[in-house]
C-alpha cells in the first residue's frame, strides 16, 4: 500500500482524491490578522476580496511537522510527501523533520520527502507520476529515483493578471507596477532548475501573454504526446479553457487537467492568474 501526501499548494483533482491514495496537508494563510486554513473550508472569493482590500501582502505559514506526522500515520507501507519548492516555502524542511521524527517510531515504514521545485499542479503531477510508478509494481527506491528524475524534467509557467500582490510584497516598485497596469503589460514567468521564479518575457495583453507562455513551453518540451499537462487557474475558468485550446492547436498531449487553485496558489497567482505545468 502507498500514500501520497501533498501540501495544500498542490491541487488534487477529485478523480485522484476518490482513490484514497492522495491527501492534502494544509498551509495557513493570513490577511490583515485574519487566519485562513487552506483546506476544504477555503473560500476563494472571500480570500480574493480580502487581498484586494488589504494594503499589505497576504502571508502563508507552512504545515507543522506534527501535521505531516499525522498524515504519515496511516496503513500505507510506502509514503511519499511532495512539497512546495524549498526555494519558496519552509514546507519541505518541515516535512523532512516530520519524516525523521516519524521513522523513529515506525522503522517498518518507507518515507520519502520530495521537493517539487514547483508549486500548484506541478506538485500534483509529481504525485500522479508516483502513483503510476507504484501501480507498475516498482520498488520504493525505484519510485523515488523515477520521481526525482521527473522533477528534474518538469517545467512550470505562469501568467499574472495583476502585479499588485508582488508590489505589496515589496518585490516590485510602485511605479513599475503602475506602468505595467496602465500599459496592460503581462509578465510571463517560469521556474528555474533550482525551483525559484524567473521572468521569461512580457507582452501587452493577456492573449499574447498566453501565446508566449505556450511558445516557451514548447521550446523546452519534447514528445508532448507522451506528457500529461496541467493547468490551474485563479477564478478564471474561461481563460484556462482558452489556454487549453491554444495548446491543442499546437501540440498533442496524453492528458490535460484543468483545476481551480487552492488557497496558497490563489495567493501566488492572484485573481486571474494562470499556471501551466508539464
Question: CA 271 → CA 30, 52, 158, distances in Å?
Answer: 17, 9, 13
CB 1 within 8 A of CB 20: no
Q: Which CATH architecture has domain 156-277?
A: 2-Layer Sandwich (3.30)
Residue pLDDT, tens place only, 197-249: 888 888 999 999 999 999 999 999 999 999 999 999 999 999 999 999 999 99
Least confident of 40-44, 182-186, 205-209, 250-254: 182-186
The H-or-E segment that residue 82 falls in is: strand 78-83
Question: Which pairing describes strands 28-31 and 185-191: parallel, antiparallel, or unpaired?
Answer: unpaired
- Residue ranges with strand state E in 116-244: 156-159, 185-191, 197-204, 228-233
Instruction: Indicate the DSSP class of residue 262.
Output: -
Confidence band, pLDDT 50/70/90 cuts, at residue 177: very low
Instruction: Indicate the DSSP class of residue 225.
Output: G
Question: How many CB atoms within 10 Å of residue 66?
Answer: 12
CA dihedral 167, 185, 121, 138 (to 10 degrees): -110
Report domain extents, the chain.
2-27+62-153, 156-277
Residue pLDDT, tens place only, 72-123: 999 999 999 999 999 999 999 999 999 999 999 999 999 999 999 999 999 9
Instruction: Give the pLDDT score at 187.
Output: 83
Instruction: Indicate the DSSP class of residue 6.
Output: E
CB 57 within 8 A of CB 165: yes
- Residue ranges with strand state E in 107-240: 110-115, 156-159, 185-191, 197-204, 228-233
CB 113 within 8 A of CB 37: no
Least confident of 6-10, 139-143, 173-177: 173-177
- Mean pLDDT for 33-59 is 95
Q: According to the CATH classification, is domain 2-27+62-153 in 3.50.50.60? A: no
Helices (H) and strands (E) in the chain, counts: 11, 13
Instruction: Give the pLDDT score at 174.
Output: 46
> 270's torsion region: left (phi>0), alpha (psi -120 to 50) or beta?
left
pLDDT at 156 over 50: yes
CB 57 within 8 A of CB 169: yes
Cell numbers that stand for 81 in this block? 510527501
Confidence band, pLDDT 50/70/90 cuts, at residue 165: low
Q: What are phi and psi of 182, to 5 degrees?
A: -65, -40
What are the residues whose beta carbons fall under 8 Å from the beta carbon of 35, sequence distance 6 or more?
28, 29
pLDDT at 180 over 60: no
Instruction: Give the pLDDT score at 57.
Output: 86
d(Cα 58, Cα 265) in Å, to the nearest integer? Answer: 12
Residue pLDDT, tens place only, 1-36: 999 999 999 999 999 999 999 999 999 999 999 999
Amino acid at each position: 500500500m502507498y500514500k501520497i501526501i501533498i501540501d495544500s499548494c498542490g491541487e488534487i483533482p477529485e478523480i485522484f482524491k476518490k482513490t484514497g491514495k492522495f491527501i492534502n496537508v494544509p498551509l495557513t494563510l493570513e490577511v490583515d490578522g485574519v487566519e485562513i486554513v487552506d483546506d476544504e473550508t477555503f473560500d476563494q472569493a472571500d480570500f480574493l476580496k480580502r487581498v484586494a482590500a488589504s494594503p499589505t501582502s497576504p502571508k502563508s505559514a507552512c504545515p507543522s511537522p506534527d501535521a505531516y506526522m499525522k498524515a504519515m500515520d496511516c496503513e500505507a507501507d510506502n509514503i511519499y510527501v511532495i512539497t512546495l519548492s524549498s526555494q519558496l516555502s519552509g514546507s519541505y524542511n518541515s516535512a523532512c523533520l516530520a519524516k525523521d521524527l516519524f521513522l523513529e517510531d515506525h522503522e517498518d515504514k518507507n518515507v520519502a520527502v520530495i521537493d517539487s521545485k514547483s508549486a500548484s499542479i506541478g506538485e500534483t503531477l509529481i504525485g500522479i507520476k508516483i502513483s503510476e510508478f507504484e501501480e507498475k509494481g516498482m520498488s520504493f527506491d525505484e519510485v523515488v529515483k523515477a520521481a526525482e528524475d521527473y522533477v528534474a524534467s518538469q517545467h512550470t509557467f505562469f501568467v499574472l493578471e495583476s502585479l499588485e500582490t508582488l508590489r505589496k510584497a515589496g518585490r516590485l516598485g510602485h511605479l513599475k507596477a503602475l506602468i505595467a497596469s496602465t500599459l496592460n503589460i503581462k509578465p510571463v514567468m517560469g521556474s528555474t532548475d533550482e525551483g525559484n521564479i524567473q521572468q521569461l518575457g512580457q507582452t501587452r495583453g493577456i492573449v499574447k501573454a498566453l501565446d508566449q507562455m505556450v511558445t516557451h513551453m514548447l521550446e523546452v518540451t519534447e514528445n508532448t504526446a507522451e506528457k500529461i499537462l496541467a493547468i490551474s487557474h485563479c477564478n478564471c475558468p474561461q481563460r484556462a479553457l482558452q489556454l487549453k485550446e491554444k495548446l491543442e492547436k499546437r501540440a498533442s498531449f496524453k492528458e490535460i487537467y484543468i483545476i481551480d487553485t487552492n488557497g496558497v496558489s490563489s495567493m501566488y497567482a492572484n485573481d486571474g492568474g494562470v499556471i501551466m505545468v508539464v
